[in-house]
Structure 1
Amino acid sequence: MTKRIFKSIFVVSLLVLAGSTGLTLSILYHYFGNQLEKELRTEAAYLAIAVEKEGLEAFESLPAQAERVTYVDKDGTVLFDNLADSRDMENHGQREEIQEAREKGFGTAVRNSHTLSRKTMYYAMKLEDGTILRVSSVQYNVPALLGGMVQPVLIMLVAMTALAAWIASRVSRHIVEPVNALDLEHPEENQVYDEIAPLLTKINRQQKSLKHEIAEAKRQQEEFSIITENMEEGFLVIDAHTEVLSYNSSALRLLGAGTQNGRQSVLTLNRSEGFQNLIERVLEGKHMVTNLDFQGRSCQVAANPVWQEDKVTGAVIVILDVTERMRGEQMRREFTANVSHELKTPLTSISGFAEIINDGFVKPEDTKKFAGRIFKEAQRLITLVNDVIKISQLDEGKFFCEKEAVDLYEAAREILKRLEERAKENNIHLYLYGPHVKVNTVRVILEEVLYNLCDNGLKYNKQNGSLTVTISEEAGRTQIVVEDTGIGISEEDKMRIFERFYRVDKSHSKAIGGTGLGLSIVKHGSMFLGADVKVESTLGEGSRFVLTMPEEEK
């Protein structure tokens, strides 16, 4: 802007300088022309007086540097000329100024010399005797005048041009300086040219509108970020070149990618073949829903192309972690199969024994024995059904028992009394240690958990072993420790002992009885109570189960 203003001012200055110089020269030229005419008239008047008195003798006193004087007779013959020989001069009767003088008493004429770039002004006066006295002087035209003073004119032009440039520079900077100093953040506070006021008003309105739009966009972006960041599902938006435009932390976590720095290809987040094929297909315009494994987790990936003017410009990808659902479905399938198997075994026995009795193949004295076998299998079946019901109730949270203050020591002692006869059969010693600590909890579920822990300690114990229950308080939380001297649990089995129907020693399972749901009931019961259960075990030496009650339940 400064350069344009400078050029405009500079050009205008030069034009004004050129125009004013030409006009001044023109005025001076005409002025000096008129002055020359006056001087010639005055000189002719004085010289006419002398000629009328003295005749031709009056011309003898003319100085050498005098203007040209010509004396013409009535018939146009040149009688005298101070610059030329009158005898060689032609008749001047037809000259313009001579003819005009004869008619009016005086006459003027100007004749140019193109070769000499000058003109000559003639003034003629008629004397009383009819003769004509003419005085002439040379007047140089503008080019001739300028030609005689080229150097000073050039110096003047250079000086004036430099001055014009300096003035244009100063003026342009002075004009632009207030514009450059405008505070566009607060346009309405500027005091500058009136011509800029409408522009500043418009800028102010646009800034307010822009700030409002930016604030709204920022608010929407923050809302979008809050929503996506709190989604368990992974969320990705990519462009047609696979570059990630938007994502949430769940997507990076599920894909097993680190923190993203700047824009990068979504293919760098996970390089598995299945994921790359999905990206290629969705960018071809195909809706994709598939299951993929990322970092050992099962994920359902839904990808939708983004269309714009019949062209795929990107894609939206949603990743759902379905590991628990898949695991739950697998567990339900296993549970169904195990329940079916566990129910089938006693039912088959009951059906077989009943069929033998019904067909009369049993001796009367053996009937009681077979009836005992049927009763035992029926009890096993009832126990299994009851355990399955308990697991289902714990899963669905259908226990509506009121909480009450329970003495853990007394509850543990009652459970050990119920198991005392079975412990004697295998010569297992039962021990109970600790203070009488009361907790506010659901008695039925707590007793079920303790019973199954102790029952499990008896089943997998050794002859002449021991089962010890210890109650203690540590760091403000109550703990119940059930420790046995049994067969122990391997590291591999520790991860699965709380699964339904899982048995550590499958070869020994029929001999020890049980449904395989005891520790599963312990796990779900502890979760219902808000307690935490952990296991410590050494293979061949025994196991130690620690049940930690929640602090708020005391």
Structure 2
Amino acid sequence: MNKSSVKKTIRMNISFILILLICILGLRWYQVQLKNTYDQQLDVLTERMDIIQTIESLFDDTFYQGRSYIAFELQLFLDKIDKNGNLLDTEISRMETKWDGEDVLVREVRLFKDWYYTDYLPLLVTYKQENNQAGIQQVALDQGGVERVDAFLSILTREYAQLSLERESLQAEKEDKTANSQLVFFVFILVIIMIFLVIFRLFVRQLALPLQDLAETASQISIGAYIDSFNYTKRNDEVGVLSRSLEKMVQKLQSSETELMNQNEELLVQQEELTSQQQRLEEAFQKSRENEELLSRRNQFINGLINTLDRKELLDSIIDSMVHFTKSTKGLIVLLDENKSRASHGLNNQEIQQFLASIDESAGITKMKRTMEPFVVRRESTPGERGYVTEPYSSYDLTLPIFLKDSELAAVLMVTRLGHKFSDKEIKGFDGFCKQISLSLEKLNLYQESENSRKMVQNILNSIHEGIQLVNEEGELLHVNEKLKEILGLENQTLLRGPSKNWIRQLKEKAEHPDQLVAFLQSSIHGEQQDESFIFQLKTIPARMVQLYAQTLYRDGKKSGTIFEYHDITKQYEVDQMKSEFVSTVSHELRTPLSSVLGFTELMLNKELKPERQRKYLLTISQEAKRLTSLINDFLDVQKMESGKQTYHKDFCDLQHIVEDVVRTQKVNTDKHEFVVDVQAAHRTVLGDQDKLIQVFGNLLSNAVKYSPNGGKIIVKIRGEQTRVAVDISDEGLGIPPEAIPNLFAKFYRIDNTDRRKIGGTGLGLSIVKEIIKAHDGDVQVKSEQGAGSTFTVRLPLVIDQGDSLAEPEEKGESQAHIVLVEDDLSLASLLKDELKDNGFFVTHYTDGDTAIEAILNKLPDAVVVDIMLENSIDGWSIIKRLKAEPKTENIPIFISTAMDEKEKGQYFGAAGYLTKPFQLSRLSNYILQVLLENEREGQIMLPNPEKDES
């Protein structure tokens, strides 16, 4: 031990670690045992409390179900009691295993359960089924049902409280002992730290300080200091050995110093000889570097030609490399094509244009075409080339030809070197570069031809309205068109190139049921498919249906690839689905009322019925017949709207009266709903077809009733919005899913939901509402929260100035077109006049034809709007005839506004436009503007305000 400090230190550390581990493991074992002991006891108490709580809860529920059965006599309450009985048996069994001999409580629970289920409850059930209320009361009094139940529950409560107290006491005891063990562990850590400090102090004194002293001594030796004696040489451990070794080393160094000085002088002589050899090697190395640089420039030049397929980039690379490689100051390369493509280095635009202008007439280039040899021109340098040098010197222009394989001169390359001529050896060396440039130009031409062909093929593919995909015989993707990317939803992506597994994997991510699609693609690529086409669905939003065709391509009798054609059949698929759904829906909606009509009719024909029953049956038949009529009318209305044959008879209507009439009608059909009409608008008059508006609000209110089957409040709010009046119809029903709202007003569309399917309907009501409101220059919108109801909002143009005076403005603007309006209906005249004024016209209104003609002759207007049927006046045909008969008025455009459908007659009389009432008011303004612009009326035509509503 005294001879080795290392062994001493190791044994001390091992002893310290063993003691530390033993103490830590002992303390940890004690804590684990303490925790496990108390946790087991706490788990037992907790499980007992859980059992008691579960039994008490089951008995409470059983008593509640029993009282519910006595009150309502429903079998489901007895079923629940039986289920609770089974659960109680299970919990009592658990209780017997957990109470270890403490069977008093277990026996009490078992006896109470047997009494309640065997004696008490069956007797109550029997009396209840016999409707013997007195017997039930007597049983309750005789057996003390309530008192016994309360007593039993109090036993469970006391037992639960006792267990809770025991658990809290045990938990507190556990926490105290755990805290004590932690305190012991803390004291143990303090002791360990003190022992470690003692060991560390011994280590520093015995080993660290001597080593530090020896390190300082070694540092002094390294800088040449003289050391006469060493400490620690008498120690027997490693420190002593190291001290004695240093002492011997110093003695040897001192004895060798003289010998080294002699050797140093000999080395200096050898160094001089090596220096001269090094100079010779550096000269050879410099020459090698120059050759390497020359080869590097050649490689860079060749790489610049190989690594680009862009014409401009290639020419720039050629001229920059040639100027650098030939050590020139400037240069130019020109392709002898139609565009004279070129690139320059160090030249200004004037110099380039001068060369281009003389290239076809240059004698040197003409000779070069014939001899196919480069030539050099020696000339005096220009002032711009000399810079700050005042003395003139020579410049040398080297022109190099670049020929294609067929000896056609493809390009001319010219470089200029200042003050140094080109040697014949250099010019011959440049010939190899010209051949390399020629190959690069030919490669570029071939690439451009190939690229033009590829672009033409791609443009052809992109012009096809179906998705096209071309693969080779191994399945590698060759071409796709833009339509395929659009179908697959890859507008901003590209189909993966390379093997078929790449693009097939990309298609799998896009398709539903991808395994079948992959099988079809693989069999088509390898020529094994049996089916001509395959239909699959894409995971796009909205989903798309695609029909895929495959066709094998052959070249010289051998398979060369496969072409896939993708047809987007989503619309066709949706139409087919809609047709099937429509047939199913219509069959149901028509058969149901027909069944009722036929059934009640058969009853009335085959049976003698009382008058009141006959009246009831006839009322039902009448209602079902009206329902059938309504369905047929919906189909006819949709057909008329689609064909443009739907007519509207518009007049001024008060929306409040229409809404209130519809609400009164709907109240008769339901007793679950509360209707509220909230009128907030001061002006409610619109121009519309009253019957069609009644149909609109009837459909919306009927839907509000149907789709709130549990009743609730239906609120109809009429409110003003500047130039419009809005009607909100809100219900508290099922609501509408967000994804269904965009399709809600489509024909035959019905939400795919069982709760709504059983309500019935053809899916035409809302589409009819939208068409009618659109024809009234309005709009309809919906807001809904699923499960919380919906709100439909109808907006219609408001007529506020219905009763305003039709007095004319005092002055007409210089840029305004003058329109004469002949109309005896003051309300319609007010609307037409406001429409024309809003579009920048000056309007004069007359109700009498003779007065209008006299005014027109006195002051010629730009256009005339006339009604055919005028009361107490000549008719519109007479007005038109008289105006057309006068030379100064025969060219004035006349527009007919009438309820008569005689358009051919109007054209015969020379009318510029014919509008059949009712019509959109904006059509009249557009007609007049169009005709006036075509006739090039002098002055300014005031175009309609684009921000103004169309109405």
Aligned residue in 1 for 2:516: 274
CA contact (8 A) 1:278 1:288 kept: no
**Equivalent residue of 1:385, what SS?**
helix
1:193 aligns with 2:368: yes
Q: Identify if the C-alpha distance between structure 1 residues 317 and 509 changes in structure 2 by more than 3 Å, giving closer, same or farther.
A: closer
- Deviation digits for residues 368-397 of structure 1 (CA, Å, limit 9, x no counterpart): 333222222211111122223334444xx1
Name the aligned partner's letter for residue 400 of structure 1: K
- Equivalent runs, 1:195-344 vs 2, <5 Å: 195=370, 217=453, 220=456, 223-224=459-460, 227-228=463-464, 231=465, 233-255=466-488, 257=490, 259-260=493-494, 263-264=497-498, 265=500, 266-271=503-508, 272-285=514-527, 288-295=532-539, 296-344=543-591
1:553 aligns with 2:929: no
Deviates more, 1:331-340 or 1:183-192: 183-192
CA contact (8 A) 2:680 2:719 kept: yes
Q: Deviation at 1:234?
A: 2.2
Name the aligned partner's letter for residue 732 of structure 2: G
2:644 paired residue among 394, 399, 404: 399
Q: Identify if the C-alpha distance between structure 1 residues 404 and 524 changes in structure 2 by more than 3 Å, giving closer, same or farther.
A: closer
Deviates more, 1:481-490 or 1:514-523: 514-523
Q: Deviation at 1:278?
A: 2.4
Aligned equivalents of 1:302, 1:273: Cα separation in 2? 17
CA contact (8 A) 2:684 2:725 kept: no
- Deviation digits for residues 64-87 of structure 1 (CA, Å, limit 9, x no counterpart): xxxxxxxxxxxxxxxxxxxxxxxx
CA contact (8 A) 1:412 1:469 kept: no
Aligned equivalents of 2:770, 2:784: Cα separation in 1? 17
Q: Deviation at 1:283?
A: 2.3
> What TM-score do you get using the length of structure 2 for normalisation?
0.33
**Equivalent residue of 1:306, what SS?**
strand
Aligned equivalents of 2:761, 2:448: Cα separation in 1? 71
Aligned residue in 2 for 1:82: none
- Equivalent runs, 1:309-458 vs 2, <5 Å: 309-363=556-610, 366-394=613-641, 397-401=642-646, 410-411=654-655, 413-423=657-667, 426=671, 427-434=674-681, 436=683, 448-458=695-705
% identical equivalent positions:
22
Q: Identify if the C-alpha distance between structure 1 residues 463 and 250 changes in structure 2 by more than 3 Å, giving closer, same or farther.
A: same
Q: Identify if the C-alpha distance between structure 1 residues 241 and 330 changes in structure 2 by more than 3 Å, giving closer, same or farther.
A: same
Q: Deviation at 1:320?
A: 1.9
Q: Deviation at 1:201?
A: 6.1
Deviates more, 1:493-502 or 1:372-381: 493-502
CA contact (8 A) 1:428 1:463 kept: no
Name the aligned partner's letter for residue 950 of structure 2: E
1:544 paired residue among 771, 786, 791: 791
Aligned residue in 1 for 2:713: 465
- Deviation digits for residues 279-303 of structure 1 (CA, Å, limit 9, x no counterpart): 2222234573110122143211112
Aligned residue in 2 for 1:66: none
CA contact (8 A) 1:234 1:319 kept: yes
1:487 aligns with 2:487: no
CA contact (8 A) 1:283 1:315 kept: yes
**Equivalent residue of 1:335, what SS?**
helix
Aligned equivalents of 1:528, 1:323: Cα separation in 2? 30
Name the aligned partner's letter for residue 535 of structure 2: N
Q: Deviation at 1:497?
A: 5.9
Q: Deviation at 1:420?
A: 2.7
Q: Deviation at 1:227?
A: 1.8
Aligned residue in 2 for 1:172: none
Q: Deviation at 1:519?
A: 3.1
**Equivalent residue of 2:654, what SS?**
helix
CA contact (8 A) 2:473 2:526 kept: no
Q: Which runs of 5+ in 1 are unaligned?
A: 1-176
CA contact (8 A) 1:335 1:501 kept: no
**Higher-Rg member (1/2):** 1
Aligned equivalents of 1:405, 1:358: Cα separation in 2? 46
Aligned equivalents of 1:444, 1:305: Cα separation in 2? 62
Would you tell me which structure has more helix in proportion to its own residues?
Answer: 2
Aligned residue in 1 for 2:861: none
CA contact (8 A) 1:501 1:517 kept: no
Q: Deviation at 1:418?
A: 3.1
Across the aligned residues of Structure 1 and Structure 2, the Cα RMSD in angstroms comes to 4.8
**Equivalent residue of 2:507, what SS?**
coil
Aligned equivalents of 1:535, 1:433: Cα separation in 2? 20
Q: Identify if the C-alpha distance between structure 1 residues 505 and 525 changes in structure 2 by more than 3 Å, giving closer, same or farther.
A: farther
Q: Identify if the C-alpha distance between structure 1 residues 372 and 442 changes in structure 2 by more than 3 Å, giving closer, same or farther.
A: closer
CA contact (8 A) 2:517 2:534 kept: no
Aligned equivalents of 1:356, 1:413: Cα separation in 2? 41
Q: Which runs of 5+ in 2 are unaligned?
A: 1-325, 341-358, 373-402, 412-440, 509-513, 798-947
Aligned residue in 2 for 1:132: none
Name the aligned partner's letter for residue 227 of structure 1: S
CA contact (8 A) 1:238 1:244 kept: yes
Aligned equivalents of 2:632, 2:601: Cα separation in 1? 21
Q: Deviation at 1:541?
A: 4.4
Name the aligned partner's letter for residue 468 of structure 1: V
Q: Identify if the C-alpha distance between structure 1 residues 374 and 284 changes in structure 2 by more than 3 Å, giving closer, same or farther.
A: same
**Equivalent residue of 1:241, what SS?**
coil
**Equivalent residue of 1:314, what SS?**
strand
Q: Deviation at 1:361?
A: 3.1
Q: Deviation at 1:324?
A: 3.0
- Equivalent runs, 1:42-53 vs 2, <5 Å: none
Q: Identify if the C-alpha distance between structure 1 residues 216 and 509 changes in structure 2 by more than 3 Å, giving closer, same or farther.
A: closer
Q: Deviation at 1:507?
A: 8.6
Deviates more, 1:495-504 or 1:345-354: 495-504
Aligned equivalents of 2:729, 2:479: Cα separation in 1? 53
CA contact (8 A) 1:282 1:315 kept: yes
**Equivalent residue of 1:483, what SS?**
strand
